Amino acid sequence: MPHPFELEFELALPADPEQVWEAIATGPGIDSWFMGLNEVDPRVGGTAAMETGGHRETATVTAYEPGKRFATRTEPGPDGRFTAFEYLVEGRDGGSTVLRVVHSGVLGDDWADEYDALRSGWPFHLHTLREYLAHFAGRTAVPVFAVQPTADRPAGAVRAALTAALGLPADPPAGARVHAEPAGLPPLDGELVWSDGERFEVRTADGLYAFLHPPGVLLLFHHLFAEPAPDPAAAGAAWQHWLSALLPA
């Protein structure tokens, strides 16, 4: 049966409120740290849309107070499911900002697994937001998404294939240096800035490269800041080819 939920996070960010607002309340800003390709109609009653892998989800903007508060909510489905996001921005001395994020709504029958995924995923995404504001502030990224089913491959085998392809040990610590030359793609030369049981993130001079391997699938959410901007379709196709070669169906 449907199950209501609410998650709340608060973090300090090395950016002023205007920069944080651009990151959380505009399409190009959200593209630079979150998931998918995003659009925001900047007004109460406007539409906020996210497209990931050909799937488009829309929500209504329910609060729009520039530099202070941004909120969206999806329409309830037949089973009552919906999702709401609220971002509260508060400036602090020294040009920093505190951001409070509230993610709430109603989950479906498998709510426990969904809730656990959201609870573990948000710290990762907010860390990416901090990396973006600390290292790429004032720039916007080309988002790249690719996905490869891993079928019944053991999670350890998927992780081992991914770490080997990135030139990393099996359980690499954050802070490790990364140098990889994925076939058909530019070299990755940077630092591992996040590492847990299901996710890696590499920061290079011109991008944030996230690799996620939850059960059954391997996902890439990359944010490319190179100039001139790469073609998103070509970059996505190249990374998809790399994934397919790494873990053939």
117 and 151 in a common domain: no
The domain in which residue 214 lies consists of 142-246
Instruction: List pLDDT tens digits, range 58-93.
Output: 999 999 999 999 999 999 988 889 999 999 999 998
Helix (H, G, I), strand (E, B) or coil at 60: strand
Which of 116, 135, 154 lies at the terminal end of a domain, its last residue? 135
238 and 159 in a common domain: yes
88 and 171 in a common domain: no
Q: Which of 247, 232, 218, 245 is nearest to 38 (CA)?
A: 232
Instruction: List pLDDT tens digits, range 130-157.
Output: 999 999 999 999 999 999 999 888 888 9
For the residues 165-189, what does the mean pLDDT come to? 89
Phi/psi of residue 240, nearest 5 degrees: -65, -40
Q: How far apart, in whole angstroms, are the C-alpha atoms of residue 97 and residue 103?
A: 19
pLDDT band at 54 (very low <50, low <70, confident <90, very high): confident
Check residue 226 and give its pLDDT.
Answer: 93
CB count within 10 Å of CB 77 equals 11
Q: pTM for this one?
A: 0.94
For the residues 188-201, what does the mean pLDDT come to? 93
112 and 28 in a common domain: yes
Q: Is the pLDDT higher at 233 or at 111?
A: 233
Mean pLDDT in the chain?
93
User: Contact 45/154 with Cβ under 8 angstroms?
Assistant: no
Which of 135, 168, 185 lies at the terminal end of a domain, its last residue? 135
- The CATH number assigned to the domain holding 213 equals 3.30.530.20
Check residue 194 and give its pLDDT.
Answer: 96
176: Cα separation from own chain's centroid: 21
8 and 130 in a common domain: yes
Check residue 167 and give its pLDDT.
Answer: 87
User: Contact 210/222 with Cβ under 8 angstroms?
Assistant: yes
Check residue 152 and give its pLDDT.
Answer: 84
Is residue 18's pLDDT more than 90?
yes
98 and 158 in a common domain: no
User: Contact 174/194 with Cβ under 8 angstroms?
Assistant: yes
Is residue 8's pLDDT more than 90?
yes
Please confirm whether the linkage preceding 248 is cis (ω < 30° from 0): no
Q: How far apart, in whole angstroms, are the C-alpha atoms of residue 156 and residue 177?
A: 22
Is residue 195's pLDDT more than 90?
yes
Check residue 111 and give its pLDDT.
Answer: 77
155 and 87 in a common domain: no
**Torsion on CA atoms 172, 175, 176, 180, rounded to nearest 10:** 100
CB count within 10 Å of CB 57 equals 12
For the residues 211-223, what does the mean pLDDT come to? 93
Q: How far apart, in whole angstroms, are the C-alpha atoms of residue 159 and residue 146?
A: 17
If one counts the domains in the chain, the total is 2
Q: How far apart, in whole angstroms, are the C-alpha atoms of residue 28 and residue 18?
A: 14
pLDDT band at 231 (very low <50, low <70, confident <90, very high): very high
Which of 114, 135, 156 lies at the terminal end of a domain, its last residue? 135
Check residue 215 and give its pLDDT.
Answer: 87
Q: How far apart, in whole angstroms, are the C-alpha atoms of residue 81 and residue 23?
A: 27
198 and 102 in a common domain: no
